Amino acid sequence: MRTKFSLLTIALFLSIFSAQAQHEETVLGSRSLGFSGIWGGSRHQLTRFGNTNNYVHGWQFGLEFGKALLVNFGGYNLHDDILWNNQPSQRFDMNWRSFGLGYGFQNFRAVHPMINVDAGRGKVKLAGEGEDRVFVIQPSAGVEINVFRWFHVGIEGGYRFVTDSDLASISDEQLSGAYGQVSLKFGFSWGRYRQGNHHHRDDD
């Protein structure tokens, strides 16, 4: 059931990306959906696993299209040393890789809204019980700040859905949870924004 929900979430985000792209072609004028930039950087996430607050460190690398859509891949690693349920014999660890889609609205503005979704396979380890493969999907929304043309900061919140956990002491619900995230992006976007017959220089 949770896997079906995850797939429906991905489908919903894809429909939003598609609808927004069509809307911009009609209202804002002709807009190329061609290759327009390269970005990479780090992600810093605060979240909960079980009954503890944790820090997750991530990375990303992506290709930008149409100065709005970012197709990226990356990974997340649990930074903290966790004792599951505060039991000394139950050390817990989790990491996962991701493929993601992000969409920025009016990216030429210094502060603009964005939505993201990423999904991928991961691994959960629990001392005494071994390790298990899981599936992770993370939809999120927030704002991005264009600090410099080559440096952007994203602030967002979302929810992590985890499925397929088979370890006896850990459920999907305990691995899932809300999170807040700060993303540091370094890169470059080229070309100009277009609105009707008026051309705007890229102010990122």
Domain count for the chain: 1
Does residue 154 contact residue 181 with C-beta atoms inside 8 Å? yes
Domain for residue 104, yes or no? yes
Residue length of the chain: 204
Does residue 49 contact residue 83 with C-beta atoms inside 8 Å? no
pLDDT of amino acid 15: 53
pLDDT of residue 22 exceeding 70: no
pLDDT band at 52, cuts 50/70/90?
A: confident
> Which CATH number characterizes residue 120's domain?
2.40.160.20
Nearest-angstrom CA–CA distance, 98 and 114 = 18
pTM for the full predicted model = 0.78
pLDDT of amino acid 11: 53
pLDDT tens per residue across span 24-40: 443 334 455 689 999 99
Highest-confidence segment of 18-22, 122-126, 187-191: 122-126
Can you tell me the mean pLDDT for 174-191? 94
pLDDT of residue 19 exceeding 80: no
Domain for residue 78, yes or no? yes
CB atoms within 10 A of CB 58: 21
Domain for residue 200, yes or no? no
pLDDT tens per residue across span 80-139: 778 887 777 789 999 999 999 999 999 999 999 999 999 999 999 998 888 999 999 999
**R_g of the chain computed on alpha carbons:** 19
Domain for residue 96, yes or no? yes
> CA angle, 70 as apex, 12 and 8 as ends, to 5°?
15
Domain containing residue 34: 2-190
Domain for residue 199, yes or no? no
Domain for residue 204, yes or no? no
